[in-house]
Amino acid sequence: MNLSYFIAARYFRSKKKRNFITVLSTISMIGVAVGTMALVIVMSVFNGLEDLIRGLFASFDAELKVEAVLGKSFEVDSLWLDGIQNVEGVAVLTEVIEDNALLDYNGNQLVATIKGVSDNFLEQDRFSRGYFWGDTTLGNDLSPGAIMGRGVGFFLSVNLKDVNVPLKVFYPKAPRSAATLNPNQLYSSASLEPVAFFSVERQFDDEYVIAPLKFTRELLNYGNKRTSLEIKISDGYSIDEVQENLKAHLGPDFSVKNTDEQHAGLLRTVKLEKLFVFLTLSFILAIASFNIFFSLSMLAIEKKKDIAMLKALGAKDKLIREIFLKQGAMIAVVGAAIGLVLGFAIVWLQESFGLVSLGIASAVVDAYPVRMVWTDFAWITVVVILITLVASWRPAWIASRVKTTGEL
């Protein structure tokens, strides 16, 4: 057995240590355990939040979205669209025209985003998460329907049961004369019948109205132009695989984004917040590790005679340092192990039973979302051990400087 480890283990398990040193070592171990547990729980909460955001956006966004690299819109034709539809892994191709418009319902007005989609839009299994109530169709050519975000419907006071009140949509157009006063030359207008509400995430709920593509194309005068194409992946294909196939087919003039890339800014913010919280809690843990410094320093003072005896027997300064470094490492490992187990148990209970509720009746999820990532456990363990070794270095160095002649 390694000599330094053997002696460090004897010191760690010794019942002859002074009471104060024993208490301080126990407090150090508890501090490491609590800090480790807090890191596990907080990291898991951020992982759950990231998954929740992805799930909510996936309920509204396409698995893959095609947009022009330059410009707001691009021209399409049936042959070009058929070519995309035939790309391996593409199951559903939805044409989209999206722009801002003025909505008017029974005198209430709001500027929102109208999203015109082709008839196969609902085949993409949208709104799988969140809430959806009302008709699941977009009406017909004679009576086009509108699926509205809950926030838009609330602001306009829309009543789905009142079929006699239409939703009027106004879109600005270039007037024939700059001096015209005729409103008909300033705006294109048409009416929709509100048929359903959706609630996914406030960003979408307060902004979007989904309408048939034909209605939007005629109102906005887009002709053969589209603002984007939304694609659902066939079963058995990965998103990355189909994304690469589409990029190769479309060339550099078009971007193909997955759900993460469509909201890269928000997800990057969540990751940065997770990093800052991790660093903050690690700093707090580093402050708490001062207890390890003091307990090992007092242990070095108490064991001066033992150290002198070891040196008299031929022990080098390196061996003495290793004894106290390993003593600190034992405190760290035991504390970290307890913290990891407690953190794992709490996160597992929350994930399985939802013990801590959000307390919001209209929330998409009932309890705080959590998810354990094993790489987080590894990083937390490494950080805890490194902090403890740094805290142990000074007491180990002091112990190695003990003079043999002065203590024997």
pLDDT tens, residue by residue, 100-147: 999 999 999 999 999 999 989 988 877 766 678 888 788 888 899 999
pLDDT of 163 reads 85
Asked whether the predicted pLDDT for residue 406 surpasses 60, the reply is no
Mean per-residue pLDDT of the chain:
86
Listed by start position, the domains of the chain span 3-57+266-407, 62-261
- 168-207 per-position pLDDT tens digit: 999 987 655 555 556 666 788 999 999 999 888 888 899 9
- More confident: 178 or 229: 229
- 147-170 per-position pLDDT tens digit: 999 999 999 999 998 988 999 999
- 355-393 per-position pLDDT tens digit: 887 766 555 677 888 999 999 999 998 898 888 888 888
pLDDT of 53 reads 82
pLDDT of 114 reads 96
Share of the chain above pLDDT 70, in %: 90
Task: Measure the CA–CA gap between 245 and 157, rounded to whole angstroms.
Answer: 45
Contacts from 71-76 at CB under 8 Å and sequence distance 24+? 72/227, 73/97, 73/222, 73/225, 73/226, 73/227, 74/225, 74/226, 74/254, 75/224, 75/225, 76/224, 76/225, 76/226, 76/229
- In this structure, are residues 386 and 396 in contact, taking their beta carbons and an 8 Å threshold? no
Q: Whose CA is closest to 286, among 347, 332, 344, 333?
A: 332
pLDDT of 15 reads 57
Asked whether the predicted pLDDT for residue 339 surpasses 70, the reply is yes
| Predicted model pTM | 0.76
